Amino acid sequence: MRKVILPVMLLMACSMVLDVHAAGPWSLIMPDPDEVDWSSTNRPGYHYRGMLPVHERFYEYIQSKRAQGQELSMADNAMIRRLQAARRWPEAPVPNEFWKSFLRYLREQPTLNLNFAQGFMVSEALARGLIPMDLPQNPDIRKAVEYLNSGPFRARNWFERCFGRVEPWMDYYAASRSLDMTDGGGAPSGVFPPGGDFNGLRINYNITGVKLGAPTDTEGFVTKRSYTGTVGPGTVTISGSGSINKGWGAKLEVYLRIGKQEIEEEFSFDSPGSKDFSYTVQIPADTDFTFPAPQFWIRLTGLYSTAGAGSAQVTRGLLVSGRMEGDPNAIAAQRERADAEWRAEVERTLRELGYEQTPAGRELEAMRAAIDGGDATWKAYVDRKQRELGYQDATPEAGFDEMARALEAGGPTWQQFAAAHGGGGTPPVDAAPPTAAPPATTPPPTPPATGDIGGLMVGTGTDGSTTTGVADHFPRANKIAAALTYQNIPQGSMAVAVWTRDGAEVTRGNREIGGNGWVSFSIFTEDAAGLQPGRYTLTISVGDRILGRKSFTIGGGAG
């Protein structure tokens, strides 16, 4: 039963198109083609609704030909026009000068009654998405669109395979007639009140560039039609006319406010009479749609007299209005754009201040790169930083790990740990003595700094096995680092780095190494004044073997 009703609904859509055309001059319902944002794929007259898989394959084929500089064939262009008519082509159709001239010609016509040739041209322009106006959609039309969007519709039996299903044809026909086939509502347009007048009053209206739901009508001394919906950046046009054929005269008010764009006009005219209006505003991408709330109204008030002696003036009125919110996609794009602008401003400021060239700036850049690289890259970065800082091998951490293992084991293991560390415990008589190990707090002797060894270099940072910012003298530094390449080192060997200043040890660190590879060490401070000035020496050794030694200065002269 539903499939029998659907063709009737599409006929109703066609009759609604004729009603819109009869509502007012072409110049009132269709904007100037030179003022339309033709680049938008969600503009009045062309609402892109996405590609199906078969369309995506064709689009990739066209993009490949374009990339190779190949000329599109007649068949290619014909298929593109067909997808434009179905509103499945992701590139907004733009009229050439011929079609723009026709639209200007159409706007200049003194009547809405078109001859056969003019009607054929309008039909072609609608199919190509070149008529910049949305057609009204009543609830029945929306139901038809929702049904057609509930596909895909496939042949179920021999009859449908031979003669095809009607839904795909209906879908293509409705889209090519410029009905909005997306899931949202259409633009408000029509005649109010429908089918007649109210005390001789009548409003013809058309609003493009907004997306509203079905209206709600209420009767009274002021008969009202109200809409709710959304609006985003782009071109918004409010046009139409108000008329009266009874009483003394009428007052027409037109109001539109979206962000900082505002229209407020008022006209008075005698009865019988009418007044046309058309206003277009450009809504910038950075418009604040939250406050004040976007809204519009068209109010037509008639002035009448009561019958009899001493007659008094009375008024009756019509009101078409709407309140809107910012389109969610537009608001999300605004926030993303604002975030991007703020990040760009921060980055620009940091570059101007030279922050990127500071040790902290380079460290921040390395951290960002590690975060962008995913979990594995970030973990490797954290592990490397801990090794560079000596955190994993530092005496307090090593002692804590030993204590935790002893506590977890309990029994004789814990008693032995407690006795060895002055905790009052005594090893049991039958317990084996603990394995002898050099105390973690006993450092190897500091080798004398009597000249550079092994080609070791120091700088402001490291990049893998490479030392960066290499120098022998640093006017000021918060961090000094060095990377050393080694070969044929026994597995499990401990590389020890000792940093001295003016002959006195400042700090040391160690790394477990073996085989062939590289190791890096660094000394740093968070003090704003940097590391203390003086004559420094870094010595890296394994047991009694010195792998590398380098002397350098911080502050003072370059000696």
543 φ/ψ sector (left φ>0, alpha ψ -120 to 50, else beta): left
The Cα–Cα gap between 164 and 153 comes to 10
Burial class of residue 416, CB neighbours in 10 A (0-12, 13-18, 19+): buried
Domain parsing of the chain, residue ranges: 2-176, 189-330, 354-390, 394-442, 461-554
Contact assessment for residue 176 and residue 85, using Cβ atoms and an 8 Å cutoff: yes
Cα 502 from Cα 553, distance rounded (Å): 10
The two beta strands, 234-244 and 216-218, are: unpaired
CATH 3.40.1190.20 fits 461-554, yes or no: no
Tokens 């389109």 locate to 327
Q: Report the CATH architecture of 189-330.
A: Sandwich (2.60)
Question: Phi/psi of residue 392, each to 5°?
Answer: -70, -25
Return the ∠ at Cα 411 (arms to 405 and 416), rounded to 5°: 70
Give pLDDT tens digits along the chain (559 positions).
Answer: 333 333 333 333 333 333 333 334 677 777 888 888 888 887 888 888 777 766 777 888 888 888 888 888 888 888 888 889 988 888 889 999 999 999 999 888 887 788 888 888 988 999 899 988 877 666 777 777 777 776 666 666 666 656 566 777 788 888 887 777 775 544 566 678 876 789 999 998 888 788 888 788 898 889 999 998 888 888 888 988 899 998 899 999 999 999 999 999 999 999 999 999 989 888 888 888 888 889 999 999 999 987 654 566 788 999 999 999 888 777 777 777 777 887 788 888 878 888 777 887 788 788 878 888 887 888 788 778 777 766 555 455 566 567 666 666 767 776 776 667 655 444 444 434 444 444 444 444 444 445 788 889 999 999 888 999 999 999 999 999 999 999 989 988 899 999 999 989 999 988 889 899 889 999 988 888 899 999 999 999 998 889 999 999 999 754 4
Q: Which residues pair with 231 in a beta bridge?
A: 210, 326
Interatomic CA distance for residues 162 and 220, integer angstroms: 56
What's the whole-model pTM score? 0.38
